[in-house]
A = this chain, B = another copy of it.
Amino acid sequence: MKKENKYSVILGNLGNTCDRFLSSGYKDIAPKKELITQAAAIPGVQGIELVGTWDITEENADEVKNMLNGHGLSCVSIIPDLFGQQRWGKGSLSAKDRETRMLALEETRRAARIAQQVSCPLVNLWLGQDGYDYPLTADLRGQRAYLMENIRSVAAEFPDLRFALEYKPKEPRIFSFHARAADTLLMATETGLDNVGVCIDVGHSLMAGENVAESVVILQHYGEKLFHMHFNDNYRSWDDDMIVGSVHMTEYFELLYWLNEMGYDGWYSMDQYPYREDAAAAVGESVAFLRSVESLLTDKRMQSMRELIALGDATRSTRWMRELLLPPVVD
């Protein structure tokens, strides 16, 4: 029988939200400590992801660890802030400027040390500023090489930690170096290190035009490289970072099916950006959605899905979903 999924949330989801037009923020927000309490109160949540320097530093790491422990929460990942400061504006680990790359390496090491301090097994590298915008401005060969080498350096220094590369096709750069599942996997593999893998953010994958379930299969097939999962929803053209299940339905069934089939045993972590919503409620709704889908994926239904997939009849597969979700029509 399959194991229960583990649910977590990125703490920053509960914080303030802003955009380039309303940079001062859409909401008034509680102090960071209360955010942890709020996260812990979401039914089903057992873990937290923290952004290095925003949420946690080497100085307050012990304190934060105690707070998490007090709520029975695990620290699921540390996300170094390599995207939110002016000095990363033209890249971090892939920057053309040597000093910037050195600073970025140091920031990554700091996040890794924090992870060790709080017994967190994973560093999640979302390298949002590492990419480019205009034609004829990126050194596509040289900068990609910097990126790989720097990831390899830091991952080699911390062999007890896992490093997950989170891809996203664009935003904030118009083109990201870690853009899609397969190209990110190529770089993870190029490091030659077992502790470098990939994080799928469902919304990023949808935005990239991927079938998320197929990205799961690819990452697991080529070396069990799916290290982490971020969940949210969108309309497929942009990273809208919405409540899970607010737009898509059937895709989540297919996704959770394949996560099971491919032996993913990591966290199911919420990564939303609730611009105008009560954040805890919005994140809680996502967890509730995923737990409900999980509850439907009994061994028996998993077997039914296996058979539908073997058959490959679009009408039958669609009907199966309809009969699962909607009432029958009586003539």
Taking Cβ atoms with an 8 Å cutoff, the residues of A that contact B are 17-27, 43-44, 83-86, 88-90, 96, 128, 132-141, 144, 169-172, 174-175, 179-183, 185-186, 190, 208-211, 213-214, 217-218, 221-222, 235-238, 240, 242-243, 245-251, 253-254, 257-258, 261-262, 273-278, 281-282, 285, 288-289, 291-293, 295-296, 305, 308-315, 317-322, 325-329, 331
CA distance A23 to B19 in the complex (A): 7
Chain B residue numbers with a CB within 8 Å of A262 are: 141
Q: CB distance B186 to A222 under 8 Å? A: yes
The count of identical subunits is: 4
CA distance A297 to B222 in the complex (A): 39
With A141-B217, A246-B321 known, 20 other A-B pairs at CB within 8 A are A18-B20, A22-B88, A89-B276, A133-B240, A133-B276, A134-B318, A135-B254, A136-B320, A137-B308, A140-B211, A144-B217, A209-B237, A236-B236, A238-B238, A245-B321, A245-B322, A249-B249, A282-B314, A285-B315, A295-B329
Give me 8 A-to-B residue pairs in the complex whose CB atoms sit less than 8 angstroms apart, sorted by A's number: A22-B84, A133-B276, A135-B321, A136-B305, A137-B308, A141-B221, A174-B238, A237-B238
